[in-house]
Structure 1
Amino acid sequence: MNHSTLSPSFNNNPKVPLDFNTLHTIPDSHEWNKSTVVDDPNTIEPIPIIDLTDPNAASLIRHACEKWGVILIINHGVPMDIVKQLELQTYELFSLPSERKACALRSEGSLFGYGLHRVAPFFPKLLWSEGFTMLGSPMEHAQKLWPHQPDQRTNFCTIMEEYQKEMKKLSGKLMELMLESLGLTSEDVEWFKPKTGLDRAQSMLQLNSYPTCPDPDRAMGLAPHTDSSILTILHQSISGGLQIHEDGIGWIPVDAVPGSLVVNVGDFLHILSNGLYKSPYHRAVVKNTHHRISVAFFYVPPSDVKNGPLMKLIDDDHPALYNSVTWAEYLQNKSYLDIKPKQVT
């Protein structure tokens, strides 16, 4: 893919995703030129699977975050019955007729509700996917999705709220391990002090749907990008679909391992670590055999707090690589075509 052909000013995307179930060919609007996945994954080091109960978890996380920027975690404490219900409710949502899903379309300027992925307007080709984003209870949208099925909308909202609570708890645990892996503590981040109840981080939950595609080699589920979060926790259905880009190797699949969750470093952890931890360039591919889903939880800093490289990681030999910036400023200025945040110039 030639990055020079992509323009972040492109804004002609329709607000409502296509009804993919009615398509038997790839329309020109959705046709991508994709580089192939690495031919033989056995020739590369596998993405690490880290047991969070391992006493060496912090050091294992450091190695993985420096090399890959992504890990698979097991024994993470999230009840798998909640994860299974999350999958079922996500499939239930995206199986609704297109006209019903459109009733919960995001309003102008809103992040929440049904529609295209937030990175979609930054690319000249459309994505073979649809999404639903929420913060806390999605009841306002659920009432539009299931106006005559109160039990269904209650079940949907209950599961989504329970999963978000589990993710927020896990994010705090992971943040502590990430800081420990850098030789730091929660006291080194002003807004992150979970033991005293002062964790001011924000979060969002994004449900992703990748419908069956007639020609997956010419379509893209989610375009290449980095996440603007501190970290992202992803559940992907067992068929997988996430890929990360490794210089000199190409696109590497991140398989879905039963019972695991995927954690990837976001741009703000890359900044906080002064570039030590990689914010991986990643994408999602589609399948011609089945409809797959994923659920991403974004753990982000307070929107109004300046964040830069942490002071204890800076010295004469390791000068600050990035200016301090708030999350709100960063979102306004970020180009999704950049693999990493802009360095200090």
Structure 2
Amino acid sequence: MITTALSEAFGQYTLKPHQIVPLDFHSVDTLPETHVWPPPPGPELVNTAAGDGQLVFPVPVIDFSVPEDSSGKLMVEACETWGVFQLVNHGIPLEILAAVEAQTKRLFALPASRKLEALRSPNGVNGYGQARFASLFDKNMWNEGFTVMGSPADHARKLWPDDYQGFCDVIEDYQKRMRELAARLLGLILRSANTPAQEIRRISSPSATMTTLQLNSYPPCPDPTRAMGMAPHTDTSFLTLLYQGGVKGLQIFSDRGGGGGGGGWGMVDPVDGGITVNVGDLLHVVSNARFHTARHRVVLREARQRVSVGLFFVPTADCVLSPLACGGGGGEGEVCRYRAVSVKEYIGLKYKGFETVLSAITK
């Protein structure tokens, strides 16, 4: 029922077939005009010391094996400043990360005709296709995805009719482990920010939260400097936990690195075996804007495939959120920046105004 409710929240925005079906990337040797992006506004910061002309932002790398008092404080500071940190010694075995990366590559290596057997429905969330928010942009992105909300079995059977169980076993094990990690992280961050225990339980209990898993592939591109792997956006989540693999591409926008005070884009260089954690819109809201929702994108710079696996830790669709500081949580007397909003309403507002959704709930 929980997954159905969130699927319905997204599914009220029906897509057209061309908004779902990715390009057959293996059938083209030049960049189609439909995938040529104009130069993005704002500076792209350059640091020649980075080796490839891309600035690498020094986002915190946090060791989860140290005492929680210390790691929790560091997480709060990272959420306040960057909205992103990388987590090491997180308890997810390296062989599990390698297995999910291998299954992701196995999926996207299938012929286009086979992948289309598992195509997402026009009002669905699960299955193969372009990212749902791709429909909000004029140009197409150079990626393909596979979304798992609940069990992947129905779609996996269409991909591998006689050999789908191995994929399901790896994906379901990964989902379970990452959900447990996400719940621990959210609880620790909120406790370290002096949020009352009853408020933490209300918004982060198993019955109040769920996960969506997103497998992404960014194939080699014939003209990567004019294409966009993933357009700039923020996540509709409490937290997003991303395994990047070993290929760079994820950038965040930050004022902290900007020349002339204007801000700019910088790379989040993947740490071996690390998990990249970023703040989503909904944690930004409940923190009363204390935590910075991370605006990010994926650029194409390497002439090889990049895959990533993101887990979105989200409240259920009917959950009503408002700044916890205004309910006695960690900031008595603080002025609320946002009104109360249900997750379902927030999703609707984001589809109507992708760049202005937070303004729509500002008091």
Task: Extract unaligned runs of 5+ from structure 1.
Answer: 1-7
2:292 pairs with 1:278: yes
Q: 1:10 to 1:87 in 2, by over 3 A?
A: closer
Aligned counterparts, 1:210-221, within 5 A? 210-221=218-229
* Aligned partner (choices 140, 165, 174) of residue 163 of structure 1: 174
2:194 pairs with 1:183: yes
Q: What is the TM-score with the length of structure 1 in the denominator? A: 0.90
1:16 to partner: Cα distance:
1.1
Determine if contact 2:119/2:128 at 8 Å carries over to the other structure: yes
Q: 1:9 to 1:208 in 2, by over 3 A?
A: same
* Aligned partner (choices 314, 327, 333) of residue 343 of structure 2: 327
**Corresponding residue of 1:24:** 29
**Corresponding residue of 2:258:** none
- Offset from partner CA, 1:296-321 (integer Å, 9 cap, x none): 100001211210000224443x2000
SS in 2 for 1:164: helix
Q: What is the TM-score with the length of structure 2 in the denominator? A: 0.86
Distance in 1 (alpha carbons) for counterparts of 2:196 and 2:106 = 41
Determine if contact 2:240/2:279 at 8 Å carries over to the other structure: yes
1:113 to partner: Cα distance:
0.3
**Corresponding residue of 2:115:** 101
1:108 to partner: Cα distance:
2.2
* Aligned partner (choices 206, 212, 230) of residue 214 of structure 2: 206
Higher mean displacement: 134-143 or 256-265: 134-143
Aligned counterparts, 1:18-167, within 5 A? 18-35=23-40, 37-40=44-47, 46-55=58-67, 56-147=70-161, 149-150=162-163, 153-167=164-178
2:233 pairs with 1:225: yes
SS in 2 for 1:203: strand
1:132 to partner: Cα distance:
0.3
**Corresponding residue of 1:240:** 248
SS in 1 for 2:232: strand
Alignment RMSD: 2.2
Distance in 1 (alpha carbons) for counterparts of 2:183 and 2:112 = 37
Higher mean displacement: 101-110 or 15-24: 15-24
Distance in 1 (alpha carbons) for counterparts of 2:38 and 2:185 = 36
SS in 1 for 2:320: coil
Distance in 1 (alpha carbons) for counterparts of 2:211 and 2:180 = 11
SS in 2 for 1:191: helix
Letter in 2 for 1:38: L
1:193 to partner: Cα distance:
6.0
Determine if contact 1:309/1:320 at 8 Å carries over to the other structure: yes
Q: State the aligned residue count.
A: 331
Determine if contact 1:11/1:122 at 8 Å carries over to the other structure: no
SS in 1 for 2:202: coil
Distance in 1 (alpha carbons) for counterparts of 2:90 and 2:146 = 25
**Corresponding residue of 1:4:** none
1:183 to partner: Cα distance:
1.0
Distance in 2 (alpha carbons) for counterparts of 1:94 and 1:133 = 13
- Larger % of helix: which? 2
- Offset from partner CA, 1:76-116 (integer Å, 9 cap, x none): 11111111000000000000000000000011211000000
**Corresponding residue of 2:6:** none
SS in 1 for 2:213: strand
Letter in 2 for 1:230: F
Distance in 2 (alpha carbons) for counterparts of 1:45 and 1:107 = 38
Determine if contact 1:131/1:208 at 8 Å carries over to the other structure: yes
Letter in 2 for 1:168: R
Distance in 2 (alpha carbons) for counterparts of 1:251 and 1:116 = 24
Determine if contact 1:51/1:76 at 8 Å carries over to the other structure: yes
SS in 2 for 1:189: helix
Determine if contact 2:62/2:88 at 8 Å carries over to the other structure: yes
1:180 to partner: Cα distance:
1.8
Identity of paired residues, percent?
Answer: 41
Distance in 2 (alpha carbons) for counterparts of 1:10 and 1:105 = 12
Q: 1:295 to 1:45 in 2, by over 3 A?
A: closer
